[in-house]
Structure 1
Amino acid sequence: MTDMPFDQQVITIALCALGTMLTRFLPFLLFSGKKATPPLIQYLGKALPCAVFAMLVVYCLKDVKLLSGSHGVPEVLSLAVTLALQQWKGQMLLSIAGGTVLYMFLVQTVFG
């Protein structure tokens, strides 16, 4: 188990819960329906999903070795399926899940 005393465990859990609630409720308190949303926040709402998706792609492909192992074939196929699903349905969750499922299938069965 842990070496942390019970009171510290309770305080840690309470602080985690408070931090989670704060991040969930703060935007509603700061940007109520009474005032217009600032242009910077509107821009971030449009730009960040694409930036997060791009960062996820870079992170997933950073360790691919094209000259050894499977030569990046599972990664390229999964990326192509992810892009095709995104173009077809426009659902980020479906695209990521579809590419991930294909990748896991390929590395565990075909290239495993």
Structure 2
Amino acid sequence: MPDTRYLLLAAAVSAAVNWALRAAPFAVLSFLRTNRTVQYLSTTMPAGVMVILLVYCLRDLPLSQARAAAPLAALAVTVGLHLWRRNALLSIVGGTAVHVVLAGTLFAS
């Protein structure tokens, strides 16, 4: 069985590492707020992530089959709602609703 000094040292090291890992984000936060690269990425990454997600979701879509109508119509509704109202929640809910309704009617048979 380990001696008491070893156990106390192990607990102290664990506490120090735990405290450092919890404090590190707050110490780095002031640097990140003034960093130009982080500011640039915060404005460009959301659109980039959406483009990558769009390509990933539609890459295997068979355009010659009728089942492609649901995702394409949902995409059109999502883009249209977002351009019209500039409301992300409305766009997402509207596009999802159109996709669910169309996919339910197309695949009901």
Q: Tell me the matched-pair count.
A: 87
Alignment counterpart, residue 30 of structure 1, candidates 23, 28, 38? 28
In structure 2, the residue corresponding to 1:67 is in which secondary structure?
A: coil
Q: 1:97 to 1:29 in 2, by over 3 A?
A: farther
Runs of 5+ consecutive residues of structure 2 not aligned to the other structure: 1-17
2:60 aligned residue: 63
The runs of at least 4 aligned residues of structure 1 exceeding 2 Å deviation read 91-94
Larger deviation, residues 88-97 vs 57-66: 88-97
1:111 aligns with 2:106: yes
- Answer 1 or 2: higher relative contact order, Cα 8 Å, separation at least 6: 2
Larger Rg: 2
Q: Which runs of no fewer than 5 residues in structure 1 stay unpaired?
A: 1-17
Tell me the TM-score normalized by structure 1.
0.64
Q: Which residue of 1 aligns with 2:75?
A: 79
Q: Which residue of 1 aligns with 2:40?
A: 43
TM-score, normalised to structure 2, is: 0.65
Which one has the bigger helix percentage?
2
**Residue 89 (1) aligns with residue 85 (2):** yes
Deviation at 1:111, TM superposition (A): 0.8
Output the aligned Cα RMSD.
Answer: 2.7
